[in-house]
Chains A and B, each alone.
Chain A
Amino acid sequence: MRGNHIVAEAAIRAGCRFYFGYPITPQNETPEYMAEALSNLDDGVFIQAESELAAINMVIGCSMAGARVMTSSSSPGISLKQEGISYLSALELPSVIVNMCRGGPGLGNIAPAQSDYFQATRGGGHGDYRNIVLAPCSCQELAELTMESFDLADIYRIPIIIFADGMLGQMMEPVEFPDRKNQKKLPPKDWTITGAKGRPGRVIRSLILDPVLEEEHNWKLMRKYERIQKREVRYENFMVEDAKMVVVAFGTAARIAKGAVIMVREQGLKIGLLRPISLWPFPETALVELGKRVKLFFVFEMNMGQMVEDVRLALGRNEDIHFYGRPGGIVPTPLEISRIISSHYLRKRL
């Protein structure tokens, strides 16, 4: 199946019956699949909104009603959704937002890129908030993370960003959708607005005029973010056991880097890979652990250097953390990356 179709199918299998979106390449196959699949379901709703702004606000309303809901887009469209994502965060509304990232800034192009890392992990809208950001590197992982994201959204009452790119969206691979039988126990949705039947009216709002109360709300969100940082860090270590140098990369870049690591291992170079799967919460502890015995790190991203800042923050140093980036929609080959990492490795005489 194609990545963009997988996202849609995974959402439906996770119980999502509401999709609101606006066309943008390279993710159009997701709304197309949703339009077809949801209209074949009695309880399915698909709306092609007049804009990304409208779509994300339909998501807000739908989530207020307690329904599982998704929207998807690509970089310029995700920028337009940021207002709504800030509100979703403030209102603590579960929701799943897919970004099939493309080259930017501006209209950029429709080729795969990772240049929205800052926007995704820092909270691209206004105010002090975080979203759980998950970065799959294969179609199988895209299926698994998309399904799981609906549970995470409900557990923490938080927007989840599936952060992939045009490569993953267009790629075709066989997938096995996980069984939903082992679904996590979810908290009751006792906060929704469905009509004040036998109770006083309930309000979902983000306007908190009293600074004391707004600060309290900020701290409440912060405590939730701390819980998430403790429980929801995800990453993959690949051949790091004896590594003298570790490559850090996520998503499509990690897939390329993995190929490069396998190539340089054949030359006898002890290089491993750390692949953050959750970009927020960022796997800081995993990096710190590796940093205890590995001196040389090499960060590879399909942007001009964004995650590398988190790597430097986690390790608490700048020296011996090298960066190589290809922005603008360029997808380097494993051979290109293998040459660069081996030259860094050999230069250091490890």
Chain B
Amino acid sequence: MKKVFSRPRSLRKVPFHYCPGCGHSIIHRLVAEVIDDMDLREIAIGVPPAGCAVLAYFYLDIDMGESPHGRGTALATGLKRALPDRLVFTYQGDGDIAAIGTAESIHTANRGENISALFINNACYGMTGGQMAPTTLLGQYTTTSPGGRKELRDGYPIRLSEMLALTDGSAYIERTTVNSPANIRKTKKAIAKAFKVQLDGLGFSLVEILSPCPTNWRMSPFEACQWIEKEVVQYYPLGVIKDVTKRDKGC
């Protein structure tokens, strides 16, 4: 009988610790699948963040080097410059990449650093208990935005991917989500594309993945997926934001 589904080689046989309905387990699996599909396991080096996904190295069976909060892209820069023929990627949350690490993100993209960033946007600080993130939507309740995020008090949700697309050094930036099987497949394709862009030496690549956090959103996993569809993608539209591989073809 033909085997059609199995655990990716690059995913360890360990149960995920993530909350029910959390997007990290899906995205970890996608990363492992892409690494296997593209035969990158022996050259891949991942940089996990401070945040829920800091324990990514318990699940991904590849070399990984943990980063201080927000400094993933700077650390990955050091790794990639020392090992230019490896695949180096960061795995960062919204607070990590778009608040404390904003400067590193912008300048790594602007240098055209040949790394890939996987930016998991769940619109809150998950690990510390659901505080307001730079990406928290207006009106969204968090433990530090009582009554919902208010622009006059809390400022506006930041669209980091669009900001990074403005830098000349970024090569490929796409926003996806993992709230449905179809979107999960698109996310996998986007990750593969980001890695390909890096292997081709085209510059900085990033996939922003809108990811459910049912625990801190105080929703069921199903409601969380629906909320992404109804609310989150309205502010953070899905799709390719920048792709230099298309530019030459006049798109």
- Residue positions of A touching B, CB distance < 8 A: 18, 20, 45, 47, 49-51, 53-55, 57-67, 69, 83-84, 87, 91, 193-198, 200-207
Contacts and interface: CB of A to CB of B under 8 A. Distances in A.
Contacts of A55: 74
B57 A61 contact: no
Contacts of A206: 66
B63 A54 contact: no
Majority DSSP secondary structure for residues of A touching B? mixed
A63 B107 CA distance: 21
A195 B63 contact: yes
Interface in B18-34: none
A49 B107 contact: yes
B81 A64 contact: no
Interface in B72-109: 74-83, 86, 103-104, 106-107
Contacts of B43: 195, 197
B71 interface: yes
A43 B76 CA distance: 18
6 contacts: A18-B82, A57-B104, A61-B65, A61-B82, A87-B68, A197-B43
Interface of B: 10, 41-45, 47, 54-55, 57, 60-68, 71, 74-83, 86, 103-104, 106-107, 111
B65 A193 contact: yes
B71 A53 contact: yes
The main secondary structure of chain B at its interface with chain A is mixed
A51 B74 CA distance: 10
A57 B57 CA distance: 19
Q: Chain B CB within 10 Å — which of A194, A203, A204 has the most?
A: A203
B104 A196 contact: no
A61 B77 contact: yes
A196 B61 contact: yes
Given A54-B107, A193-B45, A62 B79 contact: yes
Contact of B71 (A57, A195, A197, A205): A57
A69 B78 contact: yes
A87, A200, A205, most chain B CB atoms within 10 A: A205
A45 B61 CA distance: 29
Contacts of B86: 194-195
B81 A47 contact: yes
* 5 tightest A-B CB contacts, nearest first: A61-B78, A62-B78, A65-B82, A57-B74, A58-B78
A205 B57 CA distance: 9
Nearest to B75: A61
A206 to B, nearest CB: 6
A200 B67 CA distance: 20
Contacts of A64: 65, 75, 78-79
Nearest to B61: A201
Which of B61, B74, B75, B81 counts the most A-chain CB atoms under 10 A from its CB? B74
Contact of B78 (A59, A196, A205, A207): A59
B64 A61 contact: no
A198 B43 CA distance: 11
A20 B104 CA distance: 14
Given A195-B44, A196-B41, A202-B63, A54 B71 contact: yes
Given A194-B63, A204-B66, A58 B77 contact: yes
B113 to A, nearest CB: 9
B45 A50 contact: no
Nearest to B76: A61
A50 B107 contact: yes
B68 to A, nearest CB: 5
B110 to A, nearest CB: 9
